[in-house]
Each structure stands twice: as C-alpha cells, then as structure tokens.
Amino acid sequence: MIHCRRATIQDSEVMSQLSHQLGYISTTEEIMGRLTRLSSLTDHYVCVAEINSEVVGWGHVQGMHSIESPSCRDWWTGCGWDSSRDGDW
C-alpha cells in the first residue's frame, strides 16, 4: 500500500536520486534548499510516497490564482518516482 506524507529535509537525498531517474539533475543540497524555501510557503505542498516505509516517489503541488477563476486551484508542478517499482503502483 502506498502512504503519502509531507516531505522533510531528511528525504532530500532520495528525492534527488528519484529526480535523476527523470533527467532532472539536482544535488541533495539543492533539494534541501528548495524544500526549506517551499516549506515556508502556504500555497505549496511537497510530499513523498512510501511503500513499506521506503520513499518511492515525490510530488509538488502549488495553489494557483488566476484572473479567469474565482478561487485558488491546485496545480501539480512536479513529481518523481522510482521507475524500477512500476509494478508496485
């Protein structure tokens, strides 16, 4: 079963590794800095997906305000997953 929770600084290394699988080259330190910045913003949410307590994916959602919509909408801005675990989804 997949369990999702808010990402923490301790997830930075595995999030960096998962990003590399998709071709997004970010160091652990870069991910740490971004998580720190995003965690202080109320319209952003970064989560990780776990299977048996192992992080196998991450997602980033942000609220988006626009002229054409009367309310804030959620918008997926990024995600990453362990492609070797595709059968587990």
- What pLDDT digit, counting tens, does each position of 11-37 carry? 999 999 999 988 889 999 999 999 999
Confidence of residue 1 (pLDDT cuts 50, 70, 90): confident
**What was the pLDDT predicted at 89?**
47
Amino acid identity, residue 49?
A
Quote the CA–CA distance of 63 and 41 in Å, as a whole number: 10
Which residues of 1-89 form beta strands (DSSP E)?
A: 2-6, 44-51, 54-64, 73-81
Please write the tens of the pLDDT for every residue from 35-72. 999 999 988 899 999 999 999 999 988 887 777 776 66
Quote the CA–CA distance of 17 and 24 in Å, as a whole number: 9
The DSSP code for 34 is H
Quote the CA–CA distance of 26 and 68 in Å, as a whole number: 34
